[in-house]
Amino acid sequence: MNRLISAAVCFAALQGCTAMNEPLAPPPAESHVESHAANSGAGCAADKQDDNALVGKSEQEATALLSGCVWRIGERDGEQFAGTMDYIEARRTLGIAAGKVTWVRRG
Q: For residue 43, what pLDDT is reported?
A: 74
User: Is the overall model pTM greater than 0.85, yes or no?
Assistant: no
pLDDT of residue 34: 43
Domains with residue ranges and CATH for the chain? 32-106 (3.30.10)
Query: What confidence score (pLDDT) does residue 46 get?
Result: 87
Q: Low-confidence residues of the chain, pLDDT below 70?
A: 1-42
Residue 89 neighbours by CB under 8 Å, 6+ apart? 106, 107
pLDDT of residue 35: 47
